[in-house]
Structure 1
């Protein structure tokens, strides 16, 4: 009897040990099934208090800008969006023309237009956020991030400042030598695959000279995807657009949006259709509004968005192999005059879309012009810079401040 009781006690203890082990195993399994912690850099919208502009100051600048606007886009030739702000306060804004001439849908303050290459400033900012978060390195070799990338000396920094030496994908896929069938839509991954497998050599030796090239920013978009584990579209939403309240900004998704976005037009209002290059993103394909870009500009130049060291590099000229005033930083164009004055901007052009983004750092001025009907007058907004500082652009006498 005692033997039977002891046996039962031993069996009971063994059962308890087995159940306990199973519970521990299940607990570990549950933990391993949990979603991994967020790999995205944490960002709070930076805040910067700037002095409030007086009503007399605003009125004087507004009158001068109105003269400029009337001279450059009189008779309703403007078809797009235009905004000038200082210290975060909008001094002047204008929205004219049609988002779609077929249904006569007008352009308003909330109408997203294609930014063309102004998209690069946003792509660059996401990359810089990832660098600050130590998800990637500024001087990291691209082939350590994208394993099939074929050029071993190219770094992330060289993509940002256009010193990689790569060829423009729009050119090497346009050849009639079997590199790409233009009946098929090209993607960012296709670009890297073609460079790796079709003997697409470099345009120039890596790191030796500046050459503006859209391929650099198409590759940067893939790096964003690799570093975050998200699509470029979702990563941009979570890292830039949503935290900054850019509620009318989005990345164009070819399959989803090709029939619903604001189309672009030739100067004679003939609509320009899509082509095989329209699905490539990073270098272009962000739609936004001037007010959203103002939010971005205020944030990007505020303490806390980027580390001071990295923000300084954004506005550092990296193309000094030839003496001259025109230069490029990390995702921003610049003019560095011999007087010591600096002008920072980025222009864009894709199909009938033209765009201009200007940030006057010392004066805290933001100037945005977007158009979905082709015109080079969009780029003339730089002439407004002398209204706010010592910039040697020519402003006509009747456009000067009264």
Structure 2
């Protein structure tokens, strides 16, 4: 670890991706057993004033918040106030799905994204109050929304809206993975009702404060006029080029905070990862979780469909064999936010990368650092394909439009002998990997698309970006 030769090749690689992605600012920190041995701020937290990035710059962490939510649930289980195997309706009797029985859906299913609930069209309504203040309104999430949407301001509002939606479960609870911000939002409601405190107050008192995360909060006003806070930036498509512009206000939503709205720093987040590596203990010796609870959180319960060989635990993503070691990680993304956290529980190595532009290549920066540290080329992948080639005839069955109420329609076409998927305005080539599984290189790292067949062996859904999309009538 003292050998710093890896730093040069890594930083050239990272700078290449940061420049290519037009990312204003990125911070990366890497620690071993809680000791930070590498830190670097690339670019600016405020481009206009040329203010740099440090490991104490506050960024959003997006969906990494989900792991905090699961830590809170595990603490409440340790206190005997709930069990992860309790039905959700035990604590949220208002939770209903139209014409469907929800009695079998447990807290465990919510924590592992295996409730069977498909992507829902609720997010826009939940952040409407933020959008009303926002002078810049073009965001990929918002392209399918209508003017008659009613804001979702409370957990009760959210459950009320969900109860009116016409939907089918993807499968019985525990049988299908589909990433669900809504289920994590409702875990916040369970934490409130069981603890008797607001979700945000509980997390601050029982996780953030005892770990010593000094510049971490859901609310900017709690940071006491701390100045080292990033600006937020968004990418605007100008037709012939893309332009990065500031978009100052942070999105917020009182009903979805448990799914992704903590703000933090690289230094604070490395204290948080160290708690997991130390079996639930902070550097100062305070116990946040028992070793058993940590173990339950990093157990690979169900394949994620995001990368082959990757599983979801409790608010954490687990790759049991990442170049021979167990990797635990989670990413986060929102307007002006791209975040990546990872740790290796067996070796105590941990890394955090935070950025101020959504869909920026923080995962490429993180994996580039991990590869360089272990003397692999920074662009190395741990994935080995089982299939290298498919005929055009075989590819035709996958072609079509894939739809979800969260992201709208994803067209998949056959172009010049390759399958090309359009996602959030960008085209990606699908490379054959295994039967009905393809790998997509996006933002410098690999993710997967898995196709799901129906009773007649026809393609009915695509699992991509952690969600399931239904196949519409194919277009040839």
Q: Shorter chain as normaliser: what TM range? A: 0.7 to 0.9
Between the two proteins, the alignment pairs up a number of residues equal to 338
1:3-402 matches, cutoff 5 A: 57=2, 59-63=4-8, 65-73=10-18, 77-101=23-47, 105-150=51-96, 151-171=102-122, 181-182=148-149, 184=151, 186-196=153-163, 198-204=164-170, 205-252=172-219, 262-267=230-235, 268-272=243-247, 278-279=253-254, 280-304=256-280, 305-320=288-303, 324-337=308-321, 341-380=325-364, 381-388=366-373, 394-395=379-380
Residue 105 of structure 1, CA deviation: 4.8
Q: Which is helix-richer, 1 or 2?
A: 1
Secondary structure, in 3 states, of the residue corresponding to 2:173?
Answer: coil
CA contact (8 A) 2:303 2:312 kept: no
Deviates more, 1:237-246 or 1:304-313: 304-313
Residue 191 of structure 1, CA deviation: 1.2
Question: Partners in 2 of 1:79 and 1:216 — Cα distance?
Answer: 31
Secondary structure, in 3 states, of the residue corresponding to 2:352?
Answer: strand
Q: Pick closer, same or farther for the CA change 1:132–1:182 going to 2, 3 Å.
A: same
CA contact (8 A) 1:81 1:107 kept: yes
CA contact (8 A) 1:214 1:283 kept: yes
Secondary structure, in 3 states, of the residue corresponding to 2:260?
Answer: coil
Secondary structure, in 3 states, of the residue corresponding to 1:206?
Answer: coil
Q: Which is strand-richer, 1 or 2?
A: 2
Residue 310 of structure 1, CA deviation: 2.4
Q: Structure 2 unaligned runs (5+)?
A: 97-101, 126-141, 236-242, 281-287, 382-476
Higher Cα Rg: structure 1 or 2? Answer: 1
Q: TM-score, normalised by structure 2?
A: 0.62
* Alignment deviations for residues 17-61 of structure 1 (CA, whole Å, 9 cap, x no partner): xxxxxxxxxxxxxxxxxxxxxxxxxxxxxxxxxxxx7xxx16345
CA contact (8 A) 1:61 1:91 kept: no
Deviates more, 1:150-159 or 1:238-247: 150-159
Question: Partners in 2 of 1:102 and 1:340 — Cα distance?
Answer: 44
Residue 370 of structure 1, CA deviation: 0.7
